[in-house]
Structure 1
Amino acid sequence: MSRVSRTSEHGATIACLWQEHLDAPFPARLRGAEPGGIDIVLLDATVAGCVSARQNKGGCLDAERNRILRDCVADLDQVLASTTEAEELRYFRRLRRLAALASDSGPRSTN
Structure 2
Amino acid sequence: MSESTEQVQTTDRLWREFHQRPFPDSLRRLTFGGTDVWLIKLDIAGCVLRWIDNSGPLDSKNSILLQSRIEDLDRVIPEFNDPVGTQYCQQLHQLAVLTSRDLSSTK
- Name the TM tier (shorter chain): 0.7 to 0.9
Aligned counterpart, 1:83:
80
Q: 1:44 aligns with which of 41, 44, 47?
A: 41
Q: Which runs of 5+ in 1 are unaligned?
A: none
Number of aligned residue pairs: 104
State whether structure 2 residue 24 is matched by structure 1 residue 27.
yes
- 8 Å Cα contact 1:35/1:82 also seen in 2: no
- 8 Å Cα contact 1:80/1:93 also seen in 2: yes
- 8 Å Cα contact 2:18/2:91 also seen in 1: yes
Shift of residue 24 of structure 1? 0.9
Shift of residue 68 of structure 1? 0.9
Q: 1:68 aligns with which of 65, 68, 79?
A: 65
Give CA deviations for 1:35-62 in whole Å, capped at 9, x if unaligned: 3433101111000111111122233311
Aligned counterpart, 2:97:
100
- 8 Å Cα contact 2:80/2:86 also seen in 1: yes
Shift of residue 8 of structure 1? 2.9
Kindly report structure 1 stretches of 4+ aligned residues shifted beyond 3 Å: none
Shift of residue 80 of structure 1? 0.5
Query: Normalising to structure 2: TM-score of the pair?
Result: 0.84
- 8 Å Cα contact 1:67/1:103 also seen in 2: no
Shift of residue 27 of structure 1? 0.7
Aligned counterpart, 2:5:
8
Shift of residue 105 of structure 1? 3.6
Distance across 2 between alignment mates of 1:39 and 1:90:
17
Q: Which runs of 5+ in 2 are unaligned?
A: none
